[in-house]
Structure 1
């Protein structure tokens, strides 16, 4: 037996807002749902000085529909003296690799001491005895 714990008509409404002068974080979100109908919006302060707002709704199986708007005019910092060019400094997150010099190892061979007397094997062998 399979039990269905989903509410027959889900309903909720929630909202939150963050405005932090120290970090510059400024955003909010609100949403409400009544059964298959969901609608809401959220906005965020963009780094260029504008505010982006997304208003959305979902109607049952109709899919997610969103409208995005912007308030204000984008502000950009002045071009640096000398203009823009390729970055020649370190790349953030890239490992700093130090390549050392490599030299092949020198091989040393030791000649065995040949003053030791060794018996020379005989070249004649007899058949095994039965």
Structure 2
């Protein structure tokens, strides 16, 4: 996992405007990077991380890096890599409402997700 870009923190963001602006900036970066990756690997699969967070909260084992990501982000865009055994994901995460937003790039094993990425062209 790599942090590609970090916003400022939001300790003094009483009206929430700084967070809105920071998220829009990171979303623009994610969208631009996603478009570039899409030219090489096609459209990403959107993965909602809520079910993984729910499973983790009830004590179920959630494999890394999904366990970390589901505690930071709501969703991620996923592309299969090479042999279909691994994937690359982009997401925007935040550890807590006062902490900076982060644009994250993550590589994981296909077995960590409930997806069959190997059938994509």
Normalising by structure 2, what TM-score? 0.24
Structure with larger RCO (C-alpha < 8 A, sep 6+): 2
Q: Which has the higher strand share?
A: 1
Q: Which protein shows a greater Rg?
A: 1
Normalising by structure 1, what TM-score? 0.22
